[in-house]
Amino acid sequence: MTMLRGAAAAVARRCGLGAGSGGGKVAARRCCSAARRREWVPPVGRDSGIMAYNSRSRTKEPLVLAKDRVATWYSCGPTVYDHAHLGHACSYVRFDIIRRIMTKFFGIEVIMVMGITDIDDKIIKRANEMNMSPVALARIYEEDFKQDMAALKVLPPTAYMRVTENIPQIISFIETVIANGQAYATSQVNTDKRYGKDFALWKAAKPQELSWTSPWGKGRPGWHIECSTISSAVFGKQLDIHTGGIDLAFPHHENEIAQCEVYHQCEQWGNYFLHSGHLHVKGSQEKMSKSLKNYVTVKDFLKKFSSDQFRMYCLRSRYSSAVEFSDESMDDAKNLLQAISSFIKDANAYIKGQLICDPVREDILWERLASTKVTVKASFADDFDTSRAVAAIMDLIHHGNRQLKAVTKDTGSPRSSVVYGSIISYIEGFFNALGMSFEERQVAVKGDSSAVLSNVIDELVQFRTKVRHYALALPEAAETVLVEGDAGAKGSKREENEKRQQLMGERRPLLEACDSLRENLAAFGIHIKDRAAVSTWEMAERGGQAEQQAQGKS
C-alpha cells in the first residue's frame, strides 16, 4: 500500500487524509480538517454577480471565476455497480438546475467534468455475485446511469472520465505526492501505518482481482485519489467549482483538497465547494441510500411521476437543504405544475379571443412582470435560491389569473393580448431554461406520442364543439302577446314554441353525449372548458405511468 502523509497548515505543514487495509499499499495521513487548516482566500478573477455558499469558507462568498464568463466545474460522479436511486437523482438534478441558471441567467459557459468510479470494492463484489467481469458490470450500470439522467433531463457533462482509463495518470500523481514527502509505502497497512488516520492511495490486489502494475506492485487506486487525479488532469491546479452530496464533504472532498495541494504545491485548490442536502424518506432522519435499503430507483419513480414533477419538487427548496420525499410532497409539486399549465392555457385562450374578460389593467400587469424579472434574477444571484424565484413566478400568475376571472359576454370588450403574451413568454422561458416545458403544443419529432396525443385531442375537442353548437343553435322562444282578433298569430307563435321544444328534445342526447365525453376525458386528466365561442382543453399534471396509460387508451 502507498499512503499519503501531511502536516497541518501551509505548504510546509500540509494535511493528509484517511485509512485503508491490506498490504502492499500507498497511504496518506490526515492531521486535521482541510477546511479548518487555514483561512479561505478569495480568488483573483472576474465576479460572476452570484453569491454562493462555499463549504470551504462556510459562508456566502462572491463567486469569482478565473476567466470571465467561464466556469470550470468538477462533479463527483457515480460508483456504477447498481441502478441510481432518487437520492442520487436529487443531487444531480439540483446541480443541473444551478448549471442552467449560471448559463441561461448569467451568461456563464460551464466546462464540467464528471468522474465515473468504474472500479472499487462494491463493483468487484457485485460482479462476483453476478458471475461477470467488473468491467462489464461497470459499463452496464454506467450506461444505465446516463439513461436515468437523460430521462430526468440532466444535461450531460462536457466530458465523462472513467477511473480505469486514467490509471497511468493516477500512478504518476501518487509518485509526485511521494516525491513531495507526503506519502509512503507499506506492506501491511494495518500494522505498518505511521499514523492512525492514514489512508490508502493505492491498494494491493487480492488473488483473481482486477489490477494494474505499479511501482508498488499490482493493485488499484484508492477512492480519494481518483477524483484528485482526474480533475487535475483536465483543469490543472486551478478549479473554480467542485460539487457533490453533503456526505462527500468529509472525508472525500477534504482528502481531495489535501492531495491536490500537495501535488500542485499550491496554497488553495478548488475555490468553491458546493454540497447538496440529503433526500430523506418521510418520517425518517436517515438519508435515502442503498446500504439502508430505503431507496426508490429512478426507473421506479418515473413509472409514477414525471421528470418535470421531480424537477419542480427540487426547485421548491434550496439545493443545500435536506428535503423529505413523500407522495404528499410530490402531489404539491404536481399541483404547482397544474396551476402554471392552467394559467398558460387560459392566457392563450384570452389572446385568441376564446376567453372574453372585462378590460384588463395592463399597467398593473406590466409592473408585476417587471418586478418578477428583478426578483427572479436577485433570487438566483443569492446562492441560487430557486424556491424564492418560483414563488415570484406563482405570484405573477396569481395576479394574471385575477384579471382573467372577470369573464363577460361583451364580445366587443378590448383585449390586452400583448401583456399576456409577454407574461406567457417569460414564464415558459423561465421553466425552459431550468429544464422544464410548458409549451401549449409540442412539435412532433420522431413519432413523439405526446405530440400526437395533443393533435388528436385538438381534433376531438373541435368536433365536440361543432356538435355542441349545433345542439344549442335553437330558434328563440316566441313571445305570446294577447291581442283580440289575432288568433292566427297566436297559433303561429305556439307552433314555433312547440317546434323549439321538439328540437330541444331531439338534440338533448347530443348535449348529453358532449357532457359525457367531457366527464370521461377528465378521468384521464384531460379537462375541457366550454367557452362562449369555442371550447379549450388542458392536460392535468399526472405521473409518467398514468400518462402512458392515457396515451395507450387513446
pLDDT band at 38 (very low <50, low <70, confident <90, very high): low
Pairing of strands 199-204, 23-28: antiparallel
Contact yes or no for 2/27 (Cβ under 8 A): yes
Half-sphere exposure of 469 (CA within 13 A, CB side): 11
Percent of the chain predicted with pLDDT > 90: 64
- Please write the tens of the pLDDT for every residue from 454-506: 888 888 998 998 898 888 887 776 555 545 556 666 667 788 888 888 888 88
- List, in order, residues 6 or more apart from 220 with CB less than 8 Å away: 119, 167, 202, 203, 205, 209, 210, 211, 212
Q: Is the pLDDT of residue 11 over 70?
A: no
Tell me how far apart the alpha carbons of residues 114 and 118 are, in angstroms, rounded to a whole number. 12
Omega prior to 43 cis, within 30 of 0: no
pLDDT tens digit sequence for 253-312:
999 999 999 999 999 999 999 999 999 887 676 777 766 667 899 999 999 999 999 999
Q: Is the pLDDT of residue 162 over 70?
A: yes
Residue linked to cell 489512508: 199
User: Residue holding cell 370588450?
Assistant: 413
Give the pLDDT band of residue 545 (cuts 50, 70, 90).
Answer: very low
What are the cell numbers at 45?
478573477
Query: Is the entire prediction scored with pTM above 0.85?
Result: no
Helices 417-433, 327-351: inter-axial angle, 10-degree rounding: 150
The rounded distance, in Å, linking the Cα atoms of 280 and 314 is 13
**What pLDDT was estimated at residue 492?**
77
Please state, in angstroms and rounded to a whole number, the distance separating the CA atoms of residues 149 and 95: 12
Task: Please tell me the predicted confidence (pLDDT) of residue 538.
Answer: 85
What is the per-residue pLDDT across 377-397, written as a single tens digit (0 to 9) for each? 999 999 999 999 999 999 999
* pLDDT score at 6: 36
pLDDT tens digit string along 56-90?
999 999 999 999 999 999 999 999 999 999 999 99
Lowest mean pLDDT among 26-40, 72-86, 186-200: 26-40
Coil vs helix vs strand at 77: strand
- The mean-pLDDT minimum among 143-147, 206-210, 400-404, 407-411 falls in 407-411
Q: What is the C-alpha to C-alpha distance for residues 385 and 382, in angstroms, rounded to an integer? A: 6
DSSP string, 191-245: HH-SSTT-EEEEEEPPTT---B--TT-SEEE-HHHHHHHHHHHHHTT--SEEEEE
435, with CB counted inside 10 A (0-12, 13-18, 19+), is buried
Q: Give residue 110's pLDDT band: very low, low, confident or very high (50, 70, 90).
A: very high
C-alpha cell of 399? Answer: 395576479
CB 389 within 8 A of CB 376: yes
